[in-house]
Amino acid sequence: MLFNSYEYLFYFLPLSLAAFFLLGRRARWAVAALVVASLVFYSWWNPKYLPLILASISFNFAVGQLLRRGSGHAQAVLACGIGANLLLLGVFKYADFVVRNATDLSGLPLALPHIVLPLGISFFTFTQIAYLVDVHRGKAKEPSFVNYALFVSFFPHLLAGPILHHSEMMPQFASPSNKRPQPFHLAAGLFLLAIGLVKKVCIADPLAPVVASGFDHPESISVLAAWLAVLAYTLQIYFDFSGYTDMALGAARMFNIQMPVNFDSPYHSTDIREFWRRWHITLSRFLREYLYIPLGGNRHGLVRTAANVMATFLLGGLWHGAAWTFVAWGALHGFGLLCVRVWERTGRRLPRVLAWATTFVFVMLTWVFFRASSLDAAWMMLRTLAGGSAVAEPWRGALQRALASDTQTSPMLVGATLVVGLVVITLRRNSNVMALDFRPTWPRGALVAIGLVWSVLQLGKVTPFLYFNF
């Protein structure tokens, strides 16, 4: 089930809230109800994968118990636990990728397993790896299976994060006061949910056709159309992901749960390191705490630091998807971060505007690898961006054609969406700041109501038969 769906907004979320607060006096029942709701949420897409997440939760809980009780083989138990999680992720997410590459390398006609990727597997696997490490380090302990199941499956974070620490969530789940409805948090949650829904439905989604028209045929578009497509994607991915995260944080807040911030105006960044402190913050935190620092971090000289950075970013790239394009994207960001480190050693500082522009353009160009269907397609797009396109088109025509790629939305509206998106990313106050100092004022209420009504009406698109010539 998606946050931006009718069934979630009109049925699932209100019913879950009602069940949770009605059972609030009996804490265990309330928690159990939320676990059941989360599992329903998860299996809505495909019930076939419900046993998978249940098995994963049960296994990790058992390993956590073993680690918690302490034994002479804690290191081995932890290694087995992490190994099993990575194996699960490997089988479901990377099997096709590995087999395809093995086929390419060996020339043997190996059959692709074609395993369908279960929703949220990357998120719930990483969340649980972090839990096991935290238990091993003595930072977490969870004796209750139901509580643990809620920590992993809590539906607001289940499909797209944030990636949670056990220690930041369980005290909140345990608090009796959090099981009573609190109008202030319900209102603040609704406010954040509305912002997220508007970001996703009214900004990110209308840009998708502009992006697709550019990235689907990079060889047959003009330079301007290519830049427009990349800019549109830069905005789309931010508004899509951060909008979804806002909806997650908003829903959690309604349950009196504060989840960690995942996006903090990343396009304000003036270097790549800052970008990663602002973009998908909980993933950066995970990679730093559970990969980069255990590898040695920056404690063993420049060369070792560079190797650690590159390893972290390569794996971080691969975590996003099983394709070489994601590896390339991660490698570029790792390289960018190393460049920042080297530049800092010179002691020189770029003017702020230049630093911002350099960072923004770098991030934009690296998104090409993230979005392209293959490395070849990414190179083709970069060539077009650099002016290597054979298509020469007057700027006005190129602009009109790119904005008219969605036959159902007026080009003016798409253009306006691009402009609004650009304006919003430059604003000083982002959704987290606005949610933190939320006050239930009437102008804000009117904006929330308009935003919600407008977004809901955008959810049900009527898409006729697409192949006009029969």
Residues with active-site annotation: 320
Alpha carbon of residue 253 to chain centroid: 19
Phi, psi of 261 (to 5 degrees): -70, 140
Shortest spacing between CB 19 and other proteins, in angstroms? 18
Best CA proximity match to 389, nearest among 225, 212, 210, 232:
225
End-to-end CA distance of the chain: 33
Residue pair 262/161 in contact by the 8 Å Cβ criterion: yes
DSSP 266: G
Contact string 235-254 vs other proteins (x = CB under 8 A): ------------------x-
Smaller CB separation from other proteins, 76 or 453: 453
Count of residues interacting with other proteins (CB under 8 A) = 49
Smaller CB separation from other proteins, 325 or 432: 432
The Cα 36–Cα 146 span in angstroms is: 10
Contact string 122-161 vs other proteins (x = CB under 8 A): ----------------------------------------
Q: Which of 353, 392, 423, 466 binds other proteins (CB under 8 A)?
A: 466
Residues in Cβ contact with 212 at an 8 Å cutoff, skipping those fewer than 6 apart: 405
Residue 168 found at the interface with other proteins (CB under 8 A)? yes
Residue 351 found at the interface with other proteins (CB under 8 A)? no
The Cα 271–Cα 93 span in angstroms is: 31
Shortest spacing between CB 166 and other proteins, in angstroms? 11
Residue 434 found at the interface with other proteins (CB under 8 A)? no
Residue 395 found at the interface with other proteins (CB under 8 A)? no
Best CA proximity match to 431, nearest among 264, 281, 253:
264
The residues in 174-213 that bind other proteins, with binding defined as CB under 8 A, are 178, 182-188, 190
Residue pair 82/132 in contact by the 8 Å Cβ criterion: yes
Contact string 403-432 vs other proteins (x = CB under 8 A): -----x------------------------
Smaller CB separation from other proteins, 171 or 397: 171
Q: Which of 259, 322, 363, 372 binds other proteins (CB under 8 A)?
A: 259
Find the part of the chain contacting other proteins (CB under 8 A) among 152-160, 167-175, 223-231, 382-390: 167-175
The Cα 192–Cα 187 span in angstroms is: 9
The Cα 251–Cα 224 span in angstroms is: 40
Range list of H helices, 90-181: 95-106, 121-136, 145-153, 155-158, 166-174
Shortest spacing between CB 324 and other proteins, in angstroms? 25
The residues in 92-111 that bind other proteins, with binding defined as CB under 8 A, are none
The Cα 409–Cα 388 span in angstroms is: 30
Omega within 30 of 0 (cis) for the link into 162: yes
Q: Which of 82, 197, 257, 398 binds other proteins (CB under 8 A)?
A: 257
The residues in 440-459 that bind other proteins, with binding defined as CB under 8 A, are 440-442, 445-446, 448-449, 452-453, 456-459
The Cα 213–Cα 414 span in angstroms is: 13
Residue 47 found at the interface with other proteins (CB under 8 A)? no
Smaller CB separation from other proteins, 53 or 164: 164
Shortest spacing between CB 353 and other proteins, in angstroms? 34
Q: Which residues of 183-220 are buried (b: 16+ CB within 10 A; e: fewer)?
A: eebbbbbbbbbbbbbbbbbbbbbbbebbbbbbbebbee
Best CA proximity match to 314, nearest among 369, 246, 266, 247:
369
Binding positions for other proteins, rule: CB under 8 A? 6-7, 10-11, 168-169, 172, 178, 182-188, 190, 253, 256-260, 408, 436, 438-442, 445-446, 448-449, 452-453, 456-468, 470
